Chain A
Amino acid sequence: MTSPQGTVPTAPVPVLSAERRADHRRATLGRIPLRTVQYMFLLVVALAVLFPVYWMIASSLKTPDELTSLPPSWLPAHPSIDAYSTVLSVIPYAQAFFNSFVIAAGDTIAIVVTSVMAGFVFAKYNFRGREVLFYAVLATMFVPTIVTLVPLFHVMQSLGLVDTYPGVMLPQLANAFGIFLMRQFIRGIPDELIDAARVDGASEWRVLWGIVAPLLTPAIATLVLFAFVFQWNSFLWPLTILQSQDKFTIVLAMSRLLSYTSSIQFQNVVMAGAVISIVPNTILFLFLQRFFVTGLAQSGLKG
């Protein structure tokens, strides 16, 4: 890709931008207009990225006969949704979906509440040791799950929480990423606004939930998206703590599905399981995505 250059005279910025755009339209790469090259590139990348998703959906609609014939077909010859009813009957997949939903939604609500409260303190209160405490919390973002797995499992075992919802959920009710994200956003809220509410006699509780929280919509949307998706997708902790099939999260059930039926003729069943597993995240993402670029831009990158 070459960019327009050399032809732009010194001019006020708005005019300049307009001219650059005009220039851009004329730019070429060899004989082909630059814009055509860019569109082709965009199309190729989008297709390459979407292909695995297409293959998942297409395979889930194929029949066992079609899956075992060579060469593999690019389009399902006789699309069938049998695999979806199979996946729901061979293992408690609907139950697993429900389990995941309860766990991810519960954790997400808790994460939002604990993060908004702690973020508020780290952003707006002054006390000795505040920064040290904040960086100690932030450092936990860098601790891999595997490092705390053995003692956590043991603690849950002593509490009798192995193979229970609370056992899966408890360690995930607060996290450093959420606290960090909220602190970054709340720091951008003017102190005057908060002080005015205090002067009007609002309690700190009301200041936080009545004045500050409503201003955090993009940040909370970003956090809801990330927290829910993270919990929904989480594998290592549920794998360690859950044992009976009717307690499994969907990700755990999906991994078992693969180990039951690694034979290629059941690819449609496994892929149907994968399709079902991505539905909630996809819906949430499409709803919340308009917030998250703002959300990210205003968080990690301003320090």
Chain B
Amino acid sequence: MSRARSQTLWSTVFLAPGVGLISLFVFIPILLTAWISLHEWSMYTPLTQMPWVGLANYSQVVGDQGFQQALVNTFVYAAVSIALIVPLSIFFGLFLYRPPIRGRTFLRTVLFATYMVPTVAVAIIWGYLYSPLYGPIDQLLALVGLPSQPWLGSTSQAMLAIIILNLWQTLGYYTVLVLAGLTQISQDYFDASAIDGAGTIGQTRYVIIPLLRRTLVFVIIIAAINTLQVFDPVYVLTQGGPVNATNVLSFDIYQTAFEFGRAGAASAMAIILLIVLAVTITTFLRLTRED
């Protein structure tokens, strides 16, 4: 057998499990979701017996106030989270990278360790931290003379409460990404700009952030993917409430499919989420493309 023939054979053998499984469990289900979204379906009849409804699910879903609210909530959650994650991860990344002080490895370990905690556990812990009267956050507020806050029980604070617990869980991960980006910047840049008399802020703004561009694009994309599909804390803590204040797309889709038995409508919502995600990411990549 020739080298080329044998390589073709081996590339098939090596690729088949990985690519085969991904096709079977991601590509084909996406096509099925798109197909189901054009039908009326309760999930308990065979796929072959679904009545065709065309785009009716889409027009119904888009006009639905609950779904509109979920769309807005998801966007707010993602946008506020990213707006906090980016500057904070740069700040902590620089702090862990720059000053020659001891304890940096310790802080990095502590920051990153929260990312290992299951999101459900994070939600449970923070649920108790937020609890009125019995929670330590209320106690700390009382120390500085502030009244007890309702947090998860309030339409105006529940979303913020979930954003904060997500930030606590994931900031260390994004910081490590920034740190990895920083270690690839040549020390010469830091030294050269110091010679030129740049202060810390000027150096960060004009030298480091431009050099971190690719890392930051990466951080923002990963953060967008992660936040646009938030589910666990909403399911565990608020079930979308109070009064839809934390109803996000993933939760809305899950409820529509598995609790209300409207799999056709849920699939239309899922396809809309996928399109939103694809458009957001490709637009962002196009806007930030170098050259």
What residues make up the interface of A, taking CB atoms closer than 8 Å to B?
A: 1-6, 8, 10, 13, 16-17, 20-21, 24, 34-35, 38-39, 41-42, 45-46, 49-53, 55-56, 59, 67, 70-72, 74, 113-115, 117-118, 120-121, 125, 127, 133, 136-137, 140-155, 170-171, 173-176, 179, 204-205, 208, 229, 232-233, 235-236, 239-240, 250-251, 254-255, 258, 264, 267, 270-271, 273-274, 277-278, 281-282, 284-285, 289, 292-293, 296-297, 300-303
Contacts and interface: CB of A to CB of B under 8 A. Distances in A.
Contacts of A67: 134
B120 A296 contact: no
Contact of B119 (A74, A154, A235): A235
Given A154-B43, A274-B124, A174 B254 contact: no
Contacts of B195: 8, 10, 16
A56 B136 CA distance: 11
A221 to B, nearest CB: 14
Contact of A151 (B11, B36, B133, B139): B36
Nearest to B46: A158
Contacts of B199: 2-3, 5
B229 A145 contact: yes
B110 A50 contact: yes
The 9 A-B residue pairs whose C-beta atoms are closest, nearest first, are: A118-B18, A151-B32, A144-B229, A148-B29, A297-B180, A174-B21, A114-B18, A117-B14, A233-B118
A contact patch SS: helix
Given A137-B22, A277-B118, A301-B180, 9 more contacts: A49-B110, A117-B17, A143-B274, A146-B250, A147-B33, A149-B254, A150-B257, A153-B258, A236-B250
Contacts of A39: 101, 103
Interface stretch (B51-59, B60-68, B155-163, B184-192): B184-192
B260 interface: no
A24 B6 CA distance: 60
A204 B5 CA distance: 12
B11 A125 contact: yes
Given A143-B274, A155-B29, A176 B10 contact: no
B15 A150 contact: no
B125 A56 contact: yes
Interface in B1-47: 6-8, 10-11, 13-15, 17-22, 25-30, 32-33, 36, 43, 47
B184 A297 contact: yes
Contacts of B278: 142
Contacts of A205: 10
Contact of B231 (A232, A235, A277): A235
B19 A137 contact: yes
Nearest to B183: A297
B43 A293 contact: no
A52 B47 contact: no
B37 to A, nearest CB: 9
B107 interface: yes
Contacts of B281: 142
Contacts of A233: 117-120
Contact of A258 (B180, B228, B236): B236
B177 A301 contact: yes
A170 B277 CA distance: 25
9 contacts: A10-B195, A35-B99, A49-B114, A141-B225, A173-B17, A204-B6, A240-B254, A267-B128, A270-B128
Interface in B261-282: 263, 266-267, 270-271, 273-274, 277-278, 281
Contacts of B228: 144
B149 interface: no
B266 A150 contact: yes
Given A147-B273, A274-B125, A251 B118 contact: yes
Contacts of B43: 150, 153-154
B191 A13 contact: yes
Contacts of A173: 17, 21
B200 A2 contact: yes
Given A3-B199, A71-B139, A140-B22, A121 B14 contact: yes
A120 B14 contact: yes
